[in-house]
Structure 1
Amino acid sequence: MDLNKQGIEYMQQGKYEEAAKCFSQAIEENPKDPIYYINFGNLLSAVGDPERAIAFFNKALELDEGMGTAYYGIGSLLYNQEDFFKAKDMFEKALKAGVDNSDTYFMLGMTLNQLGQPKLALPYMKRAVELNDNDVDALFQYGLCLAGESVIDEAIKTFNRVIELEPEHSDAYYNLGVAYAGFKNDYEKALDMFEKALEIQPDHMLAANGKKIVSEALSE
């Protein structure tokens, strides 16, 4: 097995020291190959060393500015550091470099949400879901984007898909309650959704408040 595959295998097993040795040796033997710097950057990200990880990703880009996974790696680290403007730039560069998978679209959508641009986030979340319709996080965030833009029928359909995949998703039930109460005026259905959210998560304050409001509306 070559050093690259061995290092990745060690990473997947959580054997980070062994992975580091493999990637270090690979870099020594192939100092001009950007993929080894990217793998070392991924390893450093995994062990919580973002500054050194970014340095390795940047070294990969010095060798080949078309290495989209390096842009994605930097973007993810910047997102975690809440540097959303720079993260957005990195995810856009990753897409341009051909890393057009569900994760990249999802992270760009999340970054735009953090920048207060949910309308711009919507098409990226939609694409993330199109590429992986089993990704609960992407589906849920797509549902929130749809609800935020008042595309309620599609939002309801999306939240129901979340529950289909993850039956204990209390936030999906809560948002269904909001959709039925606020847009469909179906208070009984909304009450049912809020109660299901509370069954799953008894301390869900938003669901408790929603239940209180629709219960009062039904009793009038």
Structure 2
Amino acid sequence: MTEQLKEDLPAVIAEMEKTVAEFPENVIAQHHLGLVYMKSGRIEEAIGCLEKAIELDPQSAESMINLGAIYFGQGELRKAEELNQQAIGVNPKAAQAYANLGLIAQQNNDLDTAIERYEKALAIDATLSTVWMNLTSVLTMKGEDDRALAAAHKGLELDGDSPLAHNNLAVALYFSERYSEARKHMEKARELGYSVDPNFVASLEQKLA
């Protein structure tokens, strides 16, 4: 969020609150106000708006996904999973819902399910760079080095300025014993502000010594 948007946020909220007060049955207005409340950290109000949007439109998959994201952030994984599953029931092509379910499975250390869900999301929308990055991490944890490297390259291809994408590729290259290339991407991740694991740095430098 830019500084300008931060400065304008109170005015945006005031205007949207006015719209919702005038048209309380407007699903889009409730949904968008919920999102703006999310951005401003007014979480309980965001939950209220998104729940109202779902009540008004039980087919509002996007509201379900965003409400699930709030619960995920609060550590309410069961609620988050239920909402994303509900969104898929409404819209089987909801790629972000599958991606979120992958995060939940990963959080629960169910790596096989996480991979399955990430791959489902990518089968629907292969441009989701963050999902490629998450998939890279899980495949690395599983020791599936070739698949992790392919996913890491795809994540970086889609978002070349992502410090996480560079770090993920550095790790994948390390496990593929391509240490010089790994260092290049590690250094780029640092340059972009990523806090690289010191243990990884030490191990990589040892390999290059």
TM-score by length of structure 1 reads 0.76
2:31 corresponds to? 4
For residues 109 and 38 of structure 1, do their structure 2 counterparts lie closer, same or farther at Cα, with a shift above 3 Å needed? same
**Counterpart selection for 1:41 from 68, 85, 92:** 68
Superposed displacement of residue 3, structure 1: 1.4
1:109 corresponds to? 136
Superposed displacement of residue 13, structure 1: 1.8
What do residues 7-55 of structure 1 show as CA deviations (whole Å, max 9, x unaligned)? 1111122211100110011011111221111111111111111001101
Q: May I ask how many residue pairs the two structures share in their alignment?
A: 181
Superposed displacement of residue 152, structure 1: 2.7
Superposed displacement of residue 164, structure 1: 2.2
2:96 corresponds to? 69
For residues 58 and 168 of structure 1, do their structure 2 counterparts lie closer, same or farther at Cα, with a shift above 3 Å needed? closer
Unmatched 5+ stretches in structure 1: 182-220
**Counterpart selection for 2:208 from 149, 173, 180:** 180
Give the percent of matched residue pairs that are identical in Structure 1 and Structure 2: 25
**Counterpart selection for 1:144 from 146, 164, 171:** 171
Superposed displacement of residue 180, structure 1: 2.1
Superposed displacement of residue 136, structure 1: 2.0
Kept in 1: contact 2:163–2:192 (CA 8 A): yes
For residues 139 and 24 of structure 1, do their structure 2 counterparts lie closer, same or farther at Cα, with a shift above 3 Å needed? same
Kept in 1: contact 2:31–2:49 (CA 8 A): yes
What do residues 118-149 of structure 1 show as CA deviations (whole Å, max 9, x unaligned)? 22110111111222223222212211211211
What do residues 136-173 of structure 1 show as CA deviations (whole Å, max 9, x unaligned)? 22212211211211223322221221232238646364
In 2: Cα distance, 1:144 partner to 1:114 partner? 11
Letter in 2 for 1:108: L
In 2: Cα distance, 1:99 partner to 1:119 partner? 19
For residues 68 and 99 of structure 1, do their structure 2 counterparts lie closer, same or farther at Cα, with a shift above 3 Å needed? farther
2:40 corresponds to? 13
| Runs of 4 or more above 6 Å deviation | none
Letter in 1 for 2:108: Q
SS at match of 2:118: helix
Written as runs of structure 1 = structure 2, the 5 A alignment for 1:49-68 is 49-68=76-95
In 2: Cα distance, 1:48 partner to 1:168 partner? 24
Unmatched 5+ stretches in structure 2: 1-15, 17-28
Kept in 2: contact 1:72–1:94 (CA 8 A): yes
Letter in 2 for 1:140: N
Letter in 1 for 2:205: G
For residues 166 and 25 of structure 1, do their structure 2 counterparts lie closer, same or farther at Cα, with a shift above 3 Å needed? closer
SS at match of 1:31: coil
In 2: Cα distance, 1:179 partner to 1:133 partner? 26
TM-score by length of structure 2 reads 0.80
1:200 corresponds to? none
Kept in 1: contact 2:127–2:158 (CA 8 A): no
For residues 109 and 168 of structure 1, do their structure 2 counterparts lie closer, same or farther at Cα, with a shift above 3 Å needed? closer
Higher alpha-carbon deviation: 53-62 or 159-168: 159-168
For residues 50 and 79 of structure 1, do their structure 2 counterparts lie closer, same or farther at Cα, with a shift above 3 Å needed? same
Letter in 2 for 1:57: N
Letter in 2 for 1:37: M
Kept in 1: contact 2:133–2:151 (CA 8 A): yes
